[in-house]
Structure 1
């Protein structure tokens, strides 16, 4: 038992040290390979660079050491049982057969440490495999720990929902059984009305309700696909301007209706788009189509909670000019508490009574039809 644990005491630290040294290099290779294909990998890299997520986590080392020692203990039980059954006389008579004579360094006295070193030197292959396996174990533990530390539900919710709650109309495009759920039909009888907004504001605990607009845009520049256009209210002016990473645009300029910021995520699918391009789009004014020209004046980097996958962004006044109908898409509700059971219950009651809206929240996610 002592010999086995002493071997582990030498191999485990070496394995963990090797894994620690390899971790940053291996992560760098993974980031380089997937940085343009996987948003999660880019986010993890950014968090590590900002120091918000650590590759070296002490409790993971303790866990790895504990697992290794438990494994060593379990692996020693059977050979210890076999050795215990061998009598002293039989052990003294035992001579292992050797094909070649080797000159070995002798010791005047034998200790557990020297026995362990003899074992390591006499079984180089096994010792190397043990050290490499511990290195891989340590690396695997750190990879899993880093991914799990980045998969923070609270942080993910904060990035996917602005405010504490978000209410939107129920939309289902291309539903043959319910054509009234098409966005072109919903905007003609939009449930997100000013009366609904006032009703929400009357709930105790609600501080404000911000309204974001949306419309669809179809273009050859998008290979004939539809992309969402987002209309940002005056209250979102700072977020809009602060998110610009290339080019220049002010909130006032984006009120014209012919200038637009594109989110950098859109460039992943359409890399040929660039600042200064003018694209022809087809939008929907109720059931009617209308043609517009949009000039790309800047590229932005925004949270999902801000864009909701609508990667063409302008001021709300600009988007209002695209249609005479109600383009309200998101009521983003800010409360004085992150979670309040009374506020939640009252919002759910409003949703059930309306029957045409759905809700998302920061600490829970529910859809009520």
Structure 2
């Protein structure tokens, strides 16, 4: 046993190049496995420990609940805790500011008390609490606890605003969601709610937790709370589960666990392939050596142990080093991510220990198993060697049948073809193995390349640096001037404003989009987008379409399309139905009749028609719904100031900037993007390692062959060209294999992610930059490797190369 170990150690020392390459492959594999395991484990522990902090401790909520229904809930043992909340109304502002009341139980279940920075929640009828940003928006930028504020609010869109003086009782922190959506909540007291709503008008939103006797998990929670709602006389459609809380507490991180396992299995597969490829390429030149060992009396079992020990001895340093590096990288990234999340959310989070010794041991075992799996076939081949045949072995033992084809002259191209075709099986195997090692990179690039903060921001501001949108209501009976029809008739974003914007010196381009209002057959107010071909195609590009969505057809036939494919049933029409409406804008009103041929995924309008369909209505004036303004990035501040001056006297508009949308996107996607590209880098290293392994081993094991050819007259330049051409063919074949396999697999992964609502994924586009970078880097590295290796070979004399016996 000691002799086999010594012999394996001696072989590894002798074959330094092979040993170093295998150790690097094992090291990178272990780094990836330990990083994946540590990150996944840390995420699950962190989310589980902080689920209440982030998502509250309630299982679900019921909306529109009466006192009698609350009484039914209190009778049932399934409910553990029940809290009440109620929406009082909205505060007059361009942004959404709601007024709500929550009792102590609800505040505890929703973890609202931790958001209170100073002061207390309202108790008296005239008290109010809210975020500083909320008070700033209503005209109180430096509000403090104890200040008096006058607030205009109304209960619903059928009532006028009323003004009431409040005393600020508390200042709340701003959550990430409120920061991104720029929507706010003001909290008032129970006394305030009861003073504004008579007993028969009161309806509550109920937050609740379930008792331990209810057997429920994240998959069954929604159905369970809907069934309980029905038994209590509550409309199940108004039942909502606390999805994220249930996912991390009731069924902690199953998607994360499954995802980590799948990626880890893929990494192990490619590690097996890379390590096997190293042994396979260099195996032929060692056949004689193993034959001599067997001739000295080694049994099949001992030969297997010899190859096995050679591989396993290389894991002694590689695996521990990989565990340390992978864990360190993952912890560093996680801490950076958490610190940024904490800053954004202003929340005190529970720190967790991300290191799991059992998981790290499992990663070490997985790396060792990968090495064992890679050695299975070499062990089998070596154990079956006949000593006599092995000692006589001179390379390929195949004999060509028929006539041998000769050539009067041999050039670099002919030599390259001869070398590649001499052992077709090995050539094809090498190309496929190298290509498959790049597949993981291509798959990951398809996913990562479609998760972009800039792309996500462009969904909010599709063009230019600034966006000006109309804001409107569709059912404000108290203030009908706020409704869409009244606003479009007044046409606040008119052509005169557009011309004034065009005259701003730094503005490089201005684009506009028109819109209309419409009354359906029931008299309901609807919004209509009027799109030209470019805008139509942009909306179509967003995907999630239903029916026939084609500009040429819609323009020719005067068709109409629904704006939200997911809610198409709510339109009251089916695809193919005739839609009759009265449409209007600043140019008057006209009767429209057209076929609903399809639906867009998620537009900003209820319905959409083409600009040519609009022309058929015969109206004289168009109302602008959106204006986009573009300029150079360095001119943004100046242009923004001038735009705000132009809009000073305007009403019913919302001003957005691309930079603001980008910052919002980066706050939620930036760290994920960093993680994804870090993973791509490690995967790319593994892909390159496989290519480098193949080229290095191939050249070193052919040292004698190259020496003989140079002795027969091959020049150094010809040898360089031959090796470069071989490398280029291997690289080209590998890239082709990786694209043929990786692109469909990557697209399937993208579709899965989009279907399950993964952030940053909306419309698929080929990751041209990532793939082009892979091709360029692999080609450059391959050429560099061939040059360096051929240069090293030339340092030895021809005689030394011919006598080479690694």
3-state DSSP of counterpart to 1:216: strand
1-structure distance, mates of 2:331, 2:354: 15
Partner residue, 2:594: 294
Q: Is the 8 A contact 1:285 1:324 kept in 2?
A: no
3-state DSSP of counterpart to 1:197: helix
1:46-73 Cα offsets, whole Å, 9 max, x none, are xxxxxxxx96694499669962489xxx
Partner residue, 2:584: 284
Out of 305, 313, 320, the residue aligned to residue 608 of structure 2 is 313
Q: Does 1:242 align with 2:541?
A: yes
* Alpha-carbon distance, 1:168 to partner: 3.4
User: What is the TM-score with the length of structure 1 in the denominator?
Assistant: 0.50
Partner residue, 1:255: 555
* Alpha-carbon distance, 1:175 to partner: 5.2
* Alpha-carbon distance, 1:290 to partner: 4.5
Partner residue, 1:227: 526
1:49-88 to 2 correspondence within 5 Å?
58-59=330-331, 67-68=352-353
Rg (Cα) greater in structure: 2
1-structure distance, mates of 2:569, 2:524: 11
Higher relative contact order (CA 8 A, sep 6+): 1
Partner residue, 1:340: 636
Partner residue, 1:183: 484
Partner residue, 1:165: 466
2-structure distance, mates of 1:232, 1:361: 22
1:10-64 Cα offsets, whole Å, 9 max, x none, are xx98x939959xx9xxx9959x99xxx99xx9xxxxxxxxxxxx96694499669
Out of 191, 196, 215, the residue aligned to residue 497 of structure 2 is 196
Partner residue, 2:646: 350
2-structure distance, mates of 1:186, 1:346: 24
Distance 1:285 1:197, change over 3 A: closer
Q: Which runs of 5+ in 1 are unaligned?
A: 1-11, 42-53, 71-150
1:30-41 to 2 correspondence within 5 Å?
none
Partner residue, 1:362: 658
Q: Is the 8 A contact 2:511 2:628 kept in 1?
A: yes
Partner residue, 1:331: 627
* Alpha-carbon distance, 1:191 to partner: 2.7
3-state DSSP of counterpart to 1:162: coil
* Alpha-carbon distance, 1:289 to partner: 5.9
Distance 1:300 1:183, change over 3 A: closer
3-state DSSP of counterpart to 2:462: coil
Distance 1:175 1:320, change over 3 A: farther
3-state DSSP of counterpart to 1:217: strand
Q: Is the 8 A contact 2:568 2:599 kept in 1?
A: no
Distance 1:217 1:344, change over 3 A: same
Distance 1:257 1:229, change over 3 A: farther
1-structure distance, mates of 2:646, 2:456: 26
**Greater helix content:** 2
Greater displacement, 336-345 / 59-68: 59-68
3-state DSSP of counterpart to 1:270: helix
2-structure distance, mates of 1:165, 1:190: 20
2-structure distance, mates of 1:224, 1:362: 37
* Alpha-carbon distance, 1:214 to partner: 1.4
User: What is the TM-score with the length of structure 2 in the denominator?
Assistant: 0.26
Distance 1:266 1:231, change over 3 A: farther
1:97-176 to 2 correspondence within 5 Å?
157-163=457-463, 164-169=465-470, 171-172=472-473
1:323-368 Cα offsets, whole Å, 9 max, x none, are 4443211112233329821111111111115556542223348xxx
3-state DSSP of counterpart to 1:67: coil
* Alpha-carbon distance, 1:173 to partner: 5.1
1-structure distance, mates of 2:456, 2:486: 32
Tell me how large the CA RMSD over aligned residues is: 5.0
Partner residue, 2:79: none
1-structure distance, mates of 2:43, 2:628: 49
Q: Is the 8 A contact 1:207 1:336 kept in 2?
A: yes
* Alpha-carbon distance, 1:264 to partner: 3.8
Distance 1:18 1:166, change over 3 A: closer
1-structure distance, mates of 2:627, 2:42: 52
Distance 1:349 1:68, change over 3 A: same
* Alpha-carbon distance, 1:209 to partner: 1.8
* Alpha-carbon distance, 1:285 to partner: 5.2
Q: Does 1:16 align with 2:41?
A: yes
Distance 1:67 1:224, change over 3 A: same
Partner residue, 2:510: 209
Partner residue, 1:83: none
Distance 1:179 1:226, change over 3 A: closer
Q: Is the 8 A contact 1:274 1:296 kept in 2?
A: yes
Q: Is the 8 A contact 1:320 1:327 kept in 2?
A: no
Distance 1:249 1:355, change over 3 A: closer
Q: Which runs of 5+ in 2 are unaligned?
A: 1-36, 49-216, 224-238, 244-257, 261-328, 339-349, 356-450, 662-806
